[in-house]
Amino acid sequence: MKMFSGIKKFYNSLTPKKKKIFQFSVGGLSVSVILFLAFMIHVIVGLPSIEELENPQTNLASKVYDINNNLIGQFFIEKRIEITKADIPENLEKALIATEDRKFYEHWGVDVDRIFKAIFKTIFLAKPQGASTITQQLAKNLYGLRLGSENFFETLTRKVREWISAIQIERNFTKDEILEMYLNTSFFGRRAYGVYSAADTYFEKNVKDLLPHESALLVGLLKSPYNFDPIRKKDNATARRNQVLMNMYDFGYLSKEDYEKYSKLPLDIKREKIIRETNEAPHFIEMVRKQAQEVAARQGKNLYTDGLNIYTTLDINMQRVANKAVADHLKGYQELFDKNWSWNNKEAIVANLVRNAINDLEEYREAANQTEKDNISKKYQNDKRFVDSVKKIAQTIETGFVVLEVGTGEIRALVGGQNQKFFYGLNHVSQIKRQPGSAFKPLVYAAAIENGLYPAFSLLNEKFSFKGWSPKNANGAYGGYMTLRTGLAASVNVVAARLMTEGYAPIYKVVDIAQKLGIKTELQPVYSLSLGTSEVSPLELANSYASIANQGIYVEPIIIKMVTDKNELLLEEFVPESKEAMSKEAAAITVNMMEDVINAGTGAGIRATFSRPAGGKTGTTQEYADAWFVGFTPTLCAAAWVGFDDRRVKFTGWYGQGSSAALPIWKNFFTDWYKESKEPIAYFNLPSTVTTATFCRESIERGDGRLAGPNCGAVISDIVNSKNLPIECDLVHRGLKGSESKKTTTNTHDGGSEW
């Protein structure tokens, strides 16, 4: 009260003129105070909370690892992977401090001396200077305090917020923690957020392994990733790097000799990695992304910002072998096809292809009206280069190749298409369904074996008609009885067809066992199913073969083993479903028969380079539309499909058979993989319940209606002598010592191309 009374007394003593001056001064001061308070409220409202300061949130890339913990992919908005202080090499820390903040270990978040010096140089010497400390720059990175294009008021607001936040950060974190967070949150250009990503992007190195001149380049990028980009602006980048090295020398962090040595070195940037990020398993990574996104959603996480760790089943070394096997085969095969393919007399197909391609053009889709669309359509229809490009795309051979581990269901390698640089293209392993042709026959034979038949069971290899259906052999050869073993090895159509039409492998039984083995697609219950007319995906067919090789145990294919959060705490673990699909005895017999496909049948071409135990089956559909080979060793199963996206484009002759178009991929992969991996040879296990007698039952009924049993040798002698029929007593199995079989000479043409 006394203060206000004194002010009033002072005011009354003033002259009228001085009273006006006093009123103006007080009014101005009041307005200034109000504006200052309003400004500070504005500043404070935009500050991060204490909780945000203590628990800063950064966008972290989720990492994808292969079976051996090799980093094979990332999902990110900002490509950022965190490191700890222990990962930061001394030369990187020194380069950063010498260039960005020499008093880092002395100030309390704001360098007051540096601020006044910067103001003086900017205003009086016309040399704009920055005064932000590392802590202030961290505040920008963490809390989005940078406003982009700013006016004076916005710049002032940001600076005050930086100062306050920097002081708060210094109160809550140690200097080492601040340094660690700064390097983890800074942008280094080329989508690299954080020094881990920067070291990998520019040098393909771990941060720990950075040399002084490499650290200097990365620190130099902090000033302006665009202006000092080492690819587009190499001279600028070199000069900036050398300036950082000079800073280190000036500050006593480098000797003169080291400065001269490092400043003369080339940038040595991994140009290819920077220009485009490649991935050796893009279709697999996309499958992982979709599943991982579901996991993230269930766990309340964000796949692109929460730094999840995704551990997959892929073996990157095996993937590289698979990529090479596919690329090497298709390069020459595409040339062969191009020489034999002609668009003559296919004008309607070409017109349709061109029309569809035009409809997909952005220019056409965004046309203002139908008249404009018609004009665009005419332009491209008459553009020979455009039409030729459409034809070229249509006649490009496509492929799907997948490798599963027998027994675990884990996908070890996956080539989803010929173009491995197209990340989100059609996955020809899981996203297509095509007729498998003769590659489906092992499932028919498996149903017959499960139904009580055996390899020596004989069926008549002659034409027949059943309810209007008359299947034919692809090679046109018929005659006499043929055992199941020979029928499968030589891919004889009428033998497979008779199994179904004569009730030895009824349709319902084939459908049931196929679905239990791993075919998810609904199968058409028709007799031609015995020749593979119902469409399936390569992954499904590979899984069904793997189930047979796994003693009849179905295992659901998986691509992710587990997902953890950024701190490696387990979020979800994946254990594949498994169940018995067929008896182990029937599976072992089927495997044994499929071995003969490779040893002496349509897959015999494999033995030119591959000598390990293996079984499999070729497949060719009508008019050489699709070519298949699916096969397995005791440890791995793989399926290769080769064909075209447009089904109207087909192979034109023998080279479109499964044994020519698809088998070489399988052969080259397995030959090269086992040579590279040097895995010991494994053999198929024979269940103790499978004996010589299992393979030695006779197919011709005796007079009393019973099938010949364990004493088949005498029975066969009796039947052969009395009936003179071409009977084979099959004793073949790699697990039976001293067993030999009589081999029947057969035509090994893949029988799937005729129904």
In a domain, residue 40? The reply is yes
With a cut of 70, say whether residue 149 has pLDDT above it: no
Residue type, 136: Q
In a domain, residue 83? The reply is yes
Q: What is the mean pLDDT of residues 218-247?
A: 91
CA distance 448 to 273: 54
Of the candidate ranges 172-186, 431-445, 531-545, 658-672, the one whose mean pLDDT is the lowest: 172-186
Of 275, 301, 335, the position where a domain reaches its end is 275
With a cut of 70, say whether residue 513 has pLDDT above it: yes
With a cut of 70, say whether residue 2 has pLDDT above it: no
Specify the pLDDT at position 49. 58
- The answer on 17 and 121 residing in a single domain is no
Using alpha carbons, list the distances in angstroms from residue 162 to 110, 136, 421, 618.
9, 5, 43, 69
Report the mean per-residue pLDDT for the chain: 82
Q: Which residue blocks in 186-270 are alpha helix, DSSP H?
A: 195-203, 212-221, 234-250, 256-263
- Decide if 583 is catalytic: no
Return the CATH number at 193. 1.10.3810.10
CA distance 554 to 577: 8
Of the candidate ranges 202-211, 347-356, 495-504, 711-720, the one whose mean pLDDT is the lowest: 711-720
Specify the pLDDT at position 270. 77
Helices 384-394 and 370-381 cross at an angle (nearest 10°) of 80
In a domain, residue 377? The reply is no
What is 25-39 written as a DSSP string? HHHHHHHHHHHHHHH
Question: Is the CB of residue 660 less than 8 Å from the CB of residue 626?
Answer: no
With a cut of 70, say whether residue 606 has pLDDT above it: yes
- The answer on 216 and 145 residing in a single domain is yes
- The answer on 212 and 96 residing in a single domain is yes
- Decide if 100 is catalytic: yes
Residue-wise pLDDT tens digits, 254-279: 999 999 999 999 998 876 555 444 57
CA distance 248 to 243: 9
Q: What is the 3-state secondary structure (H, E, C) of 80-113?
A: ECCCCHHHCCHHHHHHHHHHHCCCCCCCCCCCHH
With a cut of 80, say whether residue 10 has pLDDT above it: no
Helices 538-549 and 584-600 cross at an angle (nearest 10°) of 110
Q: Is 434 helix (H, G, I), strand (E, B) or coil?
A: strand
Sign of CA dihedral 299, 301, 303, 309: negative
Q: What is the mean pLDDT of residues 396-404?
A: 96
- The answer on 6 and 141 residing in a single domain is no
- The answer on 98 and 192 residing in a single domain is yes
Using a 10 angstrom Cβ sphere, with 0-12 exposed, 13-18 middle and 19 or more buried, the burial of residue 522 is exposed
Backbone angles phi, psi at 63, to 5 degrees: -105, 140
Of 257, 275, 293, the position where a domain reaches its end is 275
* 250 Cβ contact partners less than 8 Å away, ≥ 6 residues apart: 98
Q: How confident is the model at residue 231 (pLDDT cuts 50, 70, 90)?
A: confident
Q: What is the mean pLDDT of residues 644-653?
A: 90
Q: What is the mean pLDDT of residues 583-605?
A: 94
Q: Which entry of 165, 438, 534, 753 is annotated as an active-site residue?
A: 438
- The answer on 10 and 94 residing in a single domain is no
Question: Is the CB of residue 257 less than 8 Å from the CB of residue 399?
Answer: no
In a domain, residue 264? The reply is yes
Q: How confident is the model at residue 741 (pLDDT cuts 50, 70, 90)?
A: very low
With a cut of 80, say whether residue 702 has pLDDT above it: no
Specify the pLDDT at position 692. 57
Q: How confident is the model at residue 498 (pLDDT cuts 50, 70, 90)?
A: very high
Please give the share of the chain, as a percent, with pLDDT higher than 70: 77
In a domain, residue 363? The reply is no
CA distance 105 to 631: 64
Specify the pLDDT at position 273. 56
Domain that holds residue 211: 78-275
Question: Is the CB of residue 461 less than 8 Å from the CB of residue 495?
Answer: yes
Q: Which entry of 82, 93, 100, 450 is annotated as an active-site residue?
A: 100
Specify the pLDDT at position 192. 84
Specify the pLDDT at position 116. 56
In a domain, residue 499? The reply is no
Q: What is the mean pLDDT of residues 614-628?
A: 94
Q: How confident is the model at residue 59 (pLDDT cuts 50, 70, 90)?
A: confident
CA distance 691 to 697: 11
Query: Which residue(s) pair with 617 in the sheet?
Result: 630
Of the candidate ranges 112-126, 204-218, 317-331, 729-743, the one whose mean pLDDT is the lowest: 729-743
Specify the pLDDT at position 749. 47
- The answer on 105 and 7 residing in a single domain is no
Of 275, 297, 329, the position where a domain reaches its end is 275
Specify the pLDDT at position 120. 52
In a domain, residue 300? The reply is no
With a cut of 60, say whether residue 118 has pLDDT above it: no
With a cut of 60, say whether residue 18 has pLDDT above it: yes
- The answer on 159 and 33 residing in a single domain is no
CA distance 735 to 591: 12
Strand-strand pairing, 79-80 and 578-580: unpaired
- The answer on 180 and 249 residing in a single domain is yes
What tokens were used for 264?
Answer: 């003369």
Of the candidate ranges 108-112, 471-475, 698-702, the one whose mean pLDDT is the lowest: 698-702
pTM of model > 0.85: no
In a domain, residue 524? The reply is no
Specify the pLDDT at position 1. 57
- The answer on 189 and 147 residing in a single domain is yes
- The total domain count for the chain is 2
Q: What is the mean pLDDT of residues 704-716?
A: 35
Of the candidate ranges 128-132, 376-380, 478-482, the one whose mean pLDDT is the lowest: 128-132
What tokens were used for 188?
Answer: 């280094």
Residue-wise pLDDT tens digits, 61-101: 899 999 999 999 988 876 677 888 899 999 999 999 999 88
Question: Is the CB of residue 668 less than 8 Å from the CB of residue 632?
Answer: no
- The answer on 123 and 29 residing in a single domain is no
Q: How confident is the model at residue 733 (pLDDT cuts 50, 70, 90)?
A: very low
Nearest by Cα to 553 from 588, 529, 523: 588
Between 108 and 132, the higher pLDDT residue:
132
Of the candidate ranges 15-29, 298-312, 458-472, 570-584, the one whose mean pLDDT is the lowest: 15-29
- Cα-based angle 644, 647, 649 (whole degrees, multiple of 5): 70
- The answer on 37 and 126 residing in a single domain is no
Specify the pLDDT at position 56. 60
With a cut of 60, say whether residue 457 has pLDDT above it: yes
